[in-house]
Structure 1
Amino acid sequence: MARPSIVPIALTLDDRTGYTLWAPPWEEDGEEWQAFLGTTEGDAVGGRAMVHLFPTPAKLAAFCRTSTDHDLADHPVWPVVAGLGAPDLTPDEDHRYDFDGVYDIAAENPDRWAVEELAATVDMVSRLAECLDTTDEDDDEDQFEAVAEFAAKPEIGSLGLGVEAFVGRSGEDAWIGVGSVFDELWEDVVEELSDHLDWTGGGTATVEEYPSASEAAEQDAGRTLPEEDDEDEDDDAPAVPDRATDAAATGATAASVARGGGVRTIARGSRVTASPAAVAAAAEFWEAVGILPVEVVVPEGAGVTLRCYVEDVARFLGRDGEVFVFDTPADLARFCAGNERHDLSEIASWPEVADTDTLPLPAEQDRYDLTELSEVLAEVADGAAGLVPHRALVQPVEGVRDLAEYAGLSRVDELLAPTAPLGRAVARADRQPDTALTAPDAAQLRPAWDEIVTSVSGALVFRD
């Protein structure tokens, strides 16, 4: 996570879905860089920069193995990416950006998923425009005038504040304002971007080959084993498991600090192997009953449990301040169908949970890898400064706050207090999420975080 990374993404526009790669910001020779898989037609200044899109992850993988004439060829981890197969270049659910679907999302109620999806889409549009703008700094002409006007709207800026910005009467008005800005400017935004999207895969595909958003999701849901890839995958490609392990160690896949959400694929230690489509389908049930599956990764291992909120106070599947965690969603489901008493038994919707056949599959925002942050802080303290933004603290801290609240871990509260170093860093993550962690920051935060992980680990009871 602390190293430069390359993330597979999918873009849907005009009912076509294309796959490409994005390199989130990384630091090299004292400068920050960011790029997409593409090339520039003409001069570097004043030419037209293009992003190559491919109709399948397999075609994207084939291009990566054979082409070196593109903007990611000099990226530090490109040699690893060039050896990956289609499964590792298939975007997770959080790296799919449906430019066609924004109107439908804006028409929904502003729950956290709608707000986060719109915010992520806006962020990706801004990143594309930033990387594709080839005008000189002294040039008065703005290549992406509509994008700049759109991103500058305060209504759009409010998406970055999260769902809390859309609560109550004033929040309803703010959400209506977001929809109005999309109605007014979105078509101009995508028109500007369309001129820079190459729907031929660098000359390897035709427009007719590109699937719709629904077709792309179905294809990726079924792509679970290397032998299931389409015929474009070479038989002599490097073995996926070994290369995938290398990629995860190098930060080349989506297990990285990506587009501002700190979102990651379910990574090492996880027992959850479901496809993004299966997780999304299961989420409909769990959101409806108000009890969500959660995965926690600690040094002792990874486990899944359940969490809900009662009057805004976190409550977990457990008893007497101990959180029951299970190796797999299936193990958790079997426990839920039993008769053992616990602190969720009295929740009104628990009978539905006990009776359901829907597996408890945790979504990305409900997965808390506490060990990964420990490793990141160690790497930054050892000299990898400048590569990890403060936002990397947000999701793990969210998880430990809930666990500490349920388990009554007062020491965790002390270490996260606003006046404590870790508490100040978390507050900065809220105010300035993109500010990079420095080596002195990490060296100071690491002992406190390790103490928190130890404390939280002691509240977890791994059940058979």
Structure 2
Amino acid sequence: MSRPSIVPIALTLDDRTGYTLWAPPWEEDGEEWQAFLGSTVEVRADLNDDDPEPPRPTAVVHLFPSPAALAAFCRTGTDHDLADHPVWPVVAGLAAADLTPDEDHRFDLDGVYDVVAEDPDRWAVDELAAVLDIVGRLAECCDAAGDDDEDDDEDDEDTGFESVADLVSRPEAAALGLGIDAFLGRDGEESWARLGTAVDELWEDVLEELDEHLDWTGAGTVAVEDYPSAAEEAEARAADPEDDDRDADDDELVDDDVEVVAAGGATATTAAPAAGIRTIRGDGLSATPAAVAAAQEFWEAVGILPVEVVVPEGAGLTLRCYVEDRARFLGREGQVFLFPTPAELSRFCAGDEAHDLTEIASWPEVADTDTPPLPAEQDRYDLVEISEVLAEVARGAGGLVEHRALLQPVEGVLDLAEYAQLPRVQQHLAPAAPLGRALTRAEADPRAPLAAEEAPALVTAWEQVVEDVGTALVFRSAVDAR
């Protein structure tokens, strides 16, 4: 579980995009909490109903037509479900740029039918997983808030979100969390087809259940007519000349022991499943989500993907593919070549130095391309960040970091260890070892919190893993090959 944080998100539904805030699960006074920017309101019965019911309290999520409208409400609004959140005083002073969601936190509910109609790839799986996850969280929060006002004699199983519960409980929906691997081969294709059938059957009902709990008036501060169409909103974002500057400058805002996630994305300890493509930033890296997505079309087609690795010595880019399900990197004799920038990596690829990817059938296309090697978020492995996260847990942040924080960095480590033949790394990740046990738990129960008492052993093991991985990394420059 992450430290208390608040994340700006955008929901696209009925051809309009609404902006709001989500507080991912946090622990307070021994209890787990999660909330959206919303409140409980009295919903009147349909006046055209022959037998109208009396007004009833309903939990709603407040939506706004722009980050600016959202920021204006945050500066003045006090009667809502996030008013008592630990970081709300920080959020109340943020500008529109800080409350603009990144690409990972934009959820297109209108586009779900199009996603399931396509053949599965990593982007479709990630996008659908993210949408179903946020829909489930919306239902959970709105239903829980509504339960507080229900009569005691009502059926406890009547949640008001039966279709949501039905859809997210399907095995095929649960398999989305496993990524594209769950939908490969004949069994995977059949699973994807069953998921498409479930969406066809249930999605309209899901949207109807949610609609009652989405307040498009921004708690009475805006009108539905204030919302541009989804296409107009997307065009306005694409044409905004400030987007690139904002992407380059956004940082997490920290207030003592709590965090606000601004446009920069997830907190260091949230480690939420990736969904979509984030802005690349850091030493030598600067690219918009649109640029990354465009580049990925080429790299996916050739079957060789750009990868970023971050270790204490620095961050670098390389290339990786799989040959008979075994990872193979841009390198030689178990040494992985890392380059400081996409341009440096591209110049090396255009050269004639021998390496372990030369014999890959699609390598000539890589050598000739002018498409920059920009890694997608799921191909970026920050081994330093997880060291810091584990250290925080060891210092007493137990219960605030989920096991799933281990999954992505360990995925990169396993590939590197396989290619470089690092036996001690594989020993540390064996099921009987402390780190291996934590990894097993992460795969079985990703949201389970890491305990403070297990963290010291994990810190020690991870430091040894990072040290061993570092022996296989060679920081290069294109000029080295000249």
Unaligned runs of 5+ in 1: 230-239
The one-letter amino acid paired with 1:261 is P
Match of 1:233 in 2: none
Aligned to 2:51: none
Q: Where does residue 187 of structure 1 map in the other structure?
A: 204
Q: Please list, as runs of the form range in 1=range in 2, the aligned pairs for 1:223-242 lying within 5 A after superposition.
A: 223=240, 225=242
Residues 284-319 of structure 1, C-alpha deviation per residue, up to 9 Å, x if partnerless? 111111111111111122222211111111111222
- 1:372/1:220 Cα in 2 relative to 1: closer, same or farther (>3 Å)? farther
Secondary structure at the residue paired with 2:455?
Answer: helix
CA shift at 1:349, angstroms? 1.4
Tell me, in whole angstroms, the C-alpha distance in 2 between the residues paired with 1:242 and 1:277.
17
Could you say what secondary structure the match of 1:47 adopts?
strand
The amino acid across from 1:23 in the alignment is A
| Distance change in 2, residues 1:194/1:351 (3 Å) | same
Give yes or no for contact 1:126–1:147 (8 Å, CA) kept in 2.
yes
Which secondary structure does the structure 2 equivalent of 1:91 belong to?
coil
Q: Is the 2:270–2:401 contact (alpha carbons within 8 Å) kept by the matching residues of 1? A: no
Q: Which of 69, 79, 97 is the matching residue for 1:69?
A: 79
Distance 1:296 1:226, change over 3 A: same
2:134 maps to 124
Query: Deviation per CA, 1:326-365, whole angstroms, max 9, x where unpaired?
Result: 2222222222223332222222212222222221111111
Conserved in 2, the CA contact under 8 Å of 1:317 and 1:323?
Answer: yes
Change (3 A) 1:227 1:12: closer
Q: Tell whether the 8 Å contact from 2:307 to 2:379 is kept in structure 1 after alignment.
A: yes
Aligned CA RMSD, in angstroms, stands at: 2.8
For residues 261 and 242 of structure 1, do their structure 2 counterparts lie closer, same or farther at Cα, with a shift above 3 Å needed?
closer
Gaps of 5+ in 2: 44-54, 478-482
Deviates more, 1:67-76 or 1:384-393: 67-76
Match of 2:313 among 266, 279, 300: 300
Shift of residue 419, structure 1, vs aligned partner: 1.3
Higher Cα Rg: structure 1 or 2? 2
Alpha-carbon separation, structure 2, partners of 1:352 and 1:58: 45
Q: Is 1:425 aligned to 2:438, yes or no? A: yes
Give the Cα separation in 2 of the matches to 1:270 and 1:10: 29
Structure 2 equivalent of residue 436 of structure 1: 449
Deviates most, 301-310 or 121-130: 301-310
- Report the equivalent of 1:457: 470
The residue identity in structure 1 corresponding to 2:9 is I
The 5-angstrom pairing of residues 195-344 of structure 1 reads 195-223=212-240, 225=242, 244=252, 246=254, 250-253=258-261, 254-256=265-267, 258=270, 260-261=272-273, 269=282, 271-344=284-357
Q: Matches of 1:353 and 1:34 in 2, distance apart?
A: 45
Equivalences, count: 453
* More displaced stretch, 200-209 vs 101-110: 200-209
Equivalent position of 1:135 in the other structure: 147
Equivalents in 1 of 2:7, 2:161: separation in Å? 24
Match of residue 16 from structure 1: 16
Q: Greater CA deviation, 257-266 or 448-457?
A: 257-266
Question: The residue matched to 1:441 in structure 2 has which SS?
Answer: helix
Query: CA offsets, 1:236-272, max 9 Å, x none?
Result: xxxx959755479954212235585167956885543
- 1:191-236 per-residue CA deviation (whole Å, 9 max, x = no partner) reads 110111122233333323334444444444455648989xxxxxxx
Q: Distance in 2 between matches of 1:76 and 1:226?
A: 29
Matched with 1:78 is 88
Preserved contact between residue 253 and residue 259 of structure 2 (Cα < 8 Å): no
Instruction: State the partner residue of 1:40.
Output: 40
Report SS of the residue matched to 2:23.
Answer: strand
2:47 is matched with which residue?
none
Instruction: After superposition, give the CA deviation of every residue in 1:380-411 in whole Å (9 maximum; x if it has no partner).
Output: 11111111111111001001111111222111
2 CA distance for matches of 1:17 and 1:352? Answer: 39
Distance 2:271 2:2 in 1: 14
Task: Give the secondary structure class of the aligned counterpart of 1:100.
Answer: coil
Whole-Å separation in 1 of the counterparts to 2:333 and 2:71 = 50
The aligned counterpart of 2:50 is none
| Larger displacement relative to structure 2 (250-259 or 86-95) | 250-259
Distance 1:36 1:451 in 2: 40
Q: Residue type matched to 1:255 in 2?
A: A
Change (3 A) 1:211 1:334: farther
> Does the Cα contact within 8 Å between 1:120 and 1:259 map onto a contact in 2?
no
Question: Contact between 2:280 and 2:288, CA under 8 Å: does it hold in 1?
Answer: no
Counterpart amino acid of 1:190? Answer: L
Within 2, Cα distance between the matches of 1:94 and 1:227?
Answer: 16
Q: Structure 1 counterpart of 2:90, which letter? A: V
Distance of aligned partners of 1:353 and 1:62 in 2 relative to their CA distance in 1, 3 Å threshold: farther
TM-score, scaled to structure 1: 0.89
Query: Is residue 144 from structure 1 mapped to residue 161 from structure 2 by the alignment?
Result: yes
Q: Which deviations, in whole Å up to 9, do the C-alpha atoms of 1:110-156 show, x marking residues without a partner?
A: 22322222222111111000111112474324222222222233343
* 2:281/2:287 contact within 8 Å kept: no
Question: Percent identical across equivalent pairs?
Answer: 66
Deviates more, 1:46-55 or 1:154-163: 154-163
Match of 2:46 in 1: none
SS in 2 for 1:27: strand
Q: Is the 8 A contact 1:9 1:22 kept in 2?
A: yes
- Aligned-partner Cα distance in 2 for 1:158–1:226: 34
Residue 447 of structure 1: how far off its partner (Å): 0.5
Once the 2 structures are TM-superposed, how far is the Cα of residue 185 of structure 1 from its aligned partner? 0.9
